[in-house]
């Protein structure tokens, strides 16, 4: 089996060039862990996700029962320092974070053939990206509840000194096992710490990492980051949930980054005047989307509080629009999702 590292499409061993990106394919082997027993604890059953950095399997815990997600780094990346740094970063972050709104890490280690792995919650639910795609515009009350829970998870990460750096709809999962939305924040693979922030301030800008459509201006410029970059990214997600649109449209990652740094951020009401978005709500989101981090909310909790007060003051319990479903709940069948590897977005 071979993989295109740009589009994450898989091909047979006989193919050498990606038909879409015209890039040389990387051999990644087959799925050797299906049927395997990891650490005498986890029976691997099937593949549930694939990406440029590894494969995610569904497995059963033999002693406790229940399903888990096992993320295994591709064997050809095992000797790559950058890939292993990303993997170690994710492990370090998840080992320290225990919060209902953050995916849990159960264990990490190395398989018998030398492939690093980590064992996490296996989530049954729907990515927020799928909900936005299906409904277009999401009811204000539901947006507020989702935002509150994401902020709660981020506040825990920030209090532990971590910056997520990749908040986007794909990394926010709505657990479908409850009648109410229960949010899990996923993928801390590029999270970094306040200590690293300090080193970057002294020596050099940080490596640019993240998903360009949801990156902050300082992130696009490779500057040192703090919790306020996550607040900016989350505000972009809120903007998209309430309007069904991103504030900027671009064809390339570079174009997204240039617009993020240089272009004026539109108000939600300007982009979608047909939705009647209240001014107080518009202004809270606009504050979180300021170019200068100092002009944003000081914490995720502050953002959640101000958004909640603005919604209450404006009696913003729903958003009326042609794409909004009457009940505000998921209309598409739930999908099994997991803390999976992802390629460039």
- What confidence score (pLDDT) does residue 39 get? 84
Q: Flag whether 343 is in a domain.
A: no
Annotated catalytic residue: which of 121, 166, 175, 181?
A: 166
Beta-carbon-side half-sphere exposure of residue 226 (alpha carbons within 13 Å) = 12
Q: Flag whether 142 is in a domain.
A: yes
- Tens of pLDDT along 53-62? 677 888 999 9
Q: 323 and 137 in contact (C-beta within 8 Å)?
A: yes
* Whether residue 118 is found in the same domain as residue 164: no
% pLDDT > 90, the chain: 41
| Domain-ending residue, one of 123, 154, 187 | 123
Domain count, the chain: 2
- Tens of pLDDT along 325-342? 433 333 333 344 444 333
* Whether residue 72 is found in the same domain as residue 131: no
* Whether residue 64 is found in the same domain as residue 156: no
> Rounded distance, CA 316 to CA 201, Å?
41
* Whether residue 166 is found in the same domain as residue 201: yes
Q: What is the mean pLDDT of residues 221-246?
A: 95
* Whether residue 52 is found in the same domain as residue 139: no
pTM of the model: 0.75
pLDDT bucket at 75, cuts 50 / 70 / 90: low
Q: What is the mean pLDDT of residues 244-268?
A: 93
b/e code 88-111 from CB counts within 10 Å (16+ = b): ebbbbbbeebebebbbbbbbbeeb
Q: 251 and 212 in contact (C-beta within 8 Å)?
A: no
Can 282 be counted among the known catalytic residues?
Answer: no
- What confidence score (pLDDT) does residue 21 get? 66
* Whether residue 19 is found in the same domain as residue 112: yes
Residue span of the structural domain in which 72 resides: 2-123
* Whether residue 32 is found in the same domain as residue 97: yes
- What confidence score (pLDDT) does residue 195 get? 42
> Rounded distance, CA 333 to CA 339, Å?
19
Q: Flag whether 344 is in a domain.
A: no
- Tens of pLDDT along 137-178? 999 999 999 999 999 999 999 998 889 988 999 889 998 666
Q: Flag whether 69 is in a domain.
A: yes
Q: 271 and 247 in contact (C-beta within 8 Å)?
A: yes
């Amino acid at each position: 089996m071979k993989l295109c590292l740009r589009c994450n499409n898989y091909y047979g061993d006989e193919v050498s060039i990606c038909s879409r990106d015209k890039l040389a394919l990387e051999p990644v082997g087959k799925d050797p862990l299906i049927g395997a027993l990891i650490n005498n604890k986890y029976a691997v059953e099937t593949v549930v996700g694939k990406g440029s950095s590894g494969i995610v399997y569904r497995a059963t815990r033999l002693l406790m029962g229940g399903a888990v997600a096992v993320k295994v780094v591709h064997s050809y990346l095992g000797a790559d320092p950058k890939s292993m740094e990303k993997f170690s970063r994710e492990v370090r972050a998840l080992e320290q974070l225990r919060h209902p709104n953050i995916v849990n890490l159960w264990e990490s280690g190395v398989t018998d053939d030398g492939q690093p792995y980590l064992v996490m919650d296996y989530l049954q639910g729907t990515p927020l990206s799928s909900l936005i795609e299906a409904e277009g515009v999401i009811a204000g009350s539901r947006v507020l509840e989702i935002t509150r829970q994401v902020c709660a998870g981020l506040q825990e990460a920030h209090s532990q000194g971590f910056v997520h750096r990749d908040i986007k709809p794909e990394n926010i999962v709505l657990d479908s096992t409850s009648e109410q939305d229960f949010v899990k924040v996923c993928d801390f693979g590029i999270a970094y710490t306040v200590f690293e922030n300090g080193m970057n301030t002294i020596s050099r800008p940080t490596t640019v990492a993240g998903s360009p459509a949801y990156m902050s201006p300082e992130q696009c410029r490779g500057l040192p980051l703090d919790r306020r970059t996550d607040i900016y990214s989350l505000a972009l997600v809120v903007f998209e949930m309430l309007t069904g649109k991103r504030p900027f449209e671009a064809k390339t990652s570079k174009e997204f980054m240039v617009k993020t740094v240089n272009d004026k951020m539109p108000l939600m009401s300007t982009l979608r005047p047909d939705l009647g978005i209240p001014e107080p709500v518009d202004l809270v989101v606009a504050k979180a989307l300021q170019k200068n981090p100092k002009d944003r909310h000081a914490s995720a909790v502050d953002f959640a509080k101000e958004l909640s007060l603005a919604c209450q003051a404006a009696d913003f319990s729903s958003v009326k629009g042609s794409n909004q479903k009457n009940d505000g709940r998921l209309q598409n069948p739930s999908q099994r999702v997991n803390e999976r590897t992802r390629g460039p977005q």
